[in-house]
Amino acid sequence: MTTMTKFYAGAAILALSSGIAHAQDLVFEKGEGAFSWDSLEEFASNNDFSGESIDITGPWTGADAELVNSVIAYFEDATGASVNYSGSDSFEQDIVISTEANSAPNIAVFPQPGLLSDLASRGAVTPLEDETAEWIRENYAAGDSWVDLATFEGEGGEDRLFAFPYKIDVKSLVWYVPEQFEELGLEVPETYEELKELTQTIADEGETPWCIGLGSGAATGWPATDWVEDLMLRTVSPEQYDAWVSNELDFSSEEVVNAIGEYGWFLQDGYVSGGREAAATTDFRDSPSGLFQFPPECYMHKQATFIPTFFPEGTVVGEDVDFFYFPAPESGDLGQPVLGGGTMFAITEDSEATRGFIDFLQTPLAHEIWAAQGGLLTPHTGISQDVFPSDSQRALNDILLNATTFRFDASDLMPGEIGAGAFWTQMVEFTTGSQDAQATGEAIQSRWDALQN
């Protein structure tokens, strides 16, 4: 279950419309601004798909559907092709039904690697060219991580690249109010060790360092799994993280129990607003509100790029509130790992124009158009940094560009009964203090073992 699926599962806050949305007029006039127009010109000179059409299905509806169509418009203008994008809140169910009925669109935009992997193993997805994998390695920050993320076992058992990652969400973020930091003379930490020192310093001042909220209706608990995932990336190697996702490294192992325990360190008395019980029950949408109280109920809140949606109306990111990268340890050799989510374009009904669209996604412009309107982060190292609408958006994207390792949300990659079941519920139990880290890991592993028997 993706971050945004979790987000809606517990809330039902908006009922966005679905259906086919056609590309609109060009939102930015060609040749103007800081865009990489030369990349579009070169692409157009090598691709003519006049008279051909492409059907694309994905999870984006409402405003996001308009944004993806604003990108598609440049592909249509460059190639003469016609593209129909259809967004649906029930994308995951729709794409399975259409592939089984042999009525799949040309391209599907997957927010869940697990679903994509399943369809690839059934032969319902067409592998991409080896050259595309090489392009990603050379042009995406932490390129090997992105190739690994989009590589799955096909119907014949061979590992192939099956998708092109695009539009990424970052979870390795801590939000804070700069004015509050200034009043206490606090500085943004640059290492994990400094983050823990900062936490202790705030507590020593008689203030509460953290606001945490796990509440999300039926999805209650998922914010705690994000904490553990980020802490795994800061305490073990990426390969061990991958082994954990695939159940080669048990939840009851020393490595995973240690990461759960590290999360528990931040739940100590005086460290979290309202205490452990409040952290377990406070709705995640309400949990950052403590940052904006006077006096503040907390000084830091760990959450992904979407959380400003729930800040008080009129809050300006970069002024009223800001963020910093959830830092990696100074000790060890883990680099700058980033946890997140995102979407991937995959071919479900092949054609020459469809291949051309995947090639189009490699142009900087295909990322810049959406990024310039807000809401898109990309690891593409070739994009113009000047297109971002604010310094905050640019700084968020820098976190991706500076990443040495990117890993997808582990719970989204695990079987549903674990990642969206036992992991969530047991982390709630741990957060309340009703069981320790070892018992938590063993309880989750016991459920996973039962699935395999």
Q: pLDDT 10s digit of each residue in the chain, 453 long?
A: 454 445 433 333 222 333 344 556 899 999 999 999 999 999 999 999 999 999 999 999 999 999 999 999 999 999 999 999 999 999 999 999 999 999 999 999 999 899 999 999 999 999 999 999 999 999 999 999 999 999 999 999 999 999 999 999 999 999 999 999 999 999 999 999 999 999 999 999 999 999 999 999 999 999 999 999 999 999 999 999 999 999 999 999 999 999 999 999 999 999 999 999 999 999 999 999 999 999 999 999 999 999 999 999 999 999 999 999 999 999 888 999 999 999 999 999 999 999 999 999 999 999 999 999 999 999 999 999 999 999 999 999 999 999 999 999 999 999 999 999 999 999 999 999 999 999 999 999 999 999 988
* Model pLDDT, residue 313: 96
User: Which pLDDT does position 112 carry in this prediction?
Assistant: 85
**Domains of the chain by residue range:** 3-170+339-408, 173-337+415-452
pLDDT at 13: 28
Nearest to 342 by CA among 422, 403, 428: 403
| Distance (Å, whole) CA 45 – CA 312 | 48
- By C-alpha distance, which of 265, 267, 174, 257 is closest to 214? 267
Tokens of 202: 């705030």
Domain 173-337+415-452 in the same topology as domain 3-170+339-408 = yes
Q: What pTM did the predictor assign?
A: 0.92
Q: What is the Cα–Cα distance from 76 to 51, expressed in whole angstroms?
A: 10
405: which residues sit within 8 A by CB, 6+ positions away? 142, 145, 233, 238, 334, 335, 336, 337, 338
DSSP assignment of 111-131 equals S-HHHHHHHHHTT-SBPPPHH
Say what the pLDDT of residue 201 is: 98
Instruction: Give the per-residue pLDDT at 25.
Output: 87
CB 357 within 8 A of CB 114: no
Instruction: Return the number of other C-beta atoms located less than 10 Å from residue 163's C-beta.
Output: 28
Q: Does domain 173-337+415-452 have CATH number 3.20.10.10?
A: no
Torsion angle in degrees (nearest 10) through CA of 134, 136, 142, 146: -110
| pLDDT for the residue numbered 331 | 85
Instruction: Give the per-residue SS3 of 301-341.
Output: EECCCCHHHHCCCCCCECCCEEEEECCCCCCCCCCCEEEEE
Other beta carbons within 10 angstroms of residue 223's beta carbon come to: 26
Which residue type occupies 248? E
The CATH code for residues 3-170+339-408 is 3.40.190.10
Residue 39 burial (CB count, 10 A): 20
End-to-end CA distance of the chain, in Å? 24
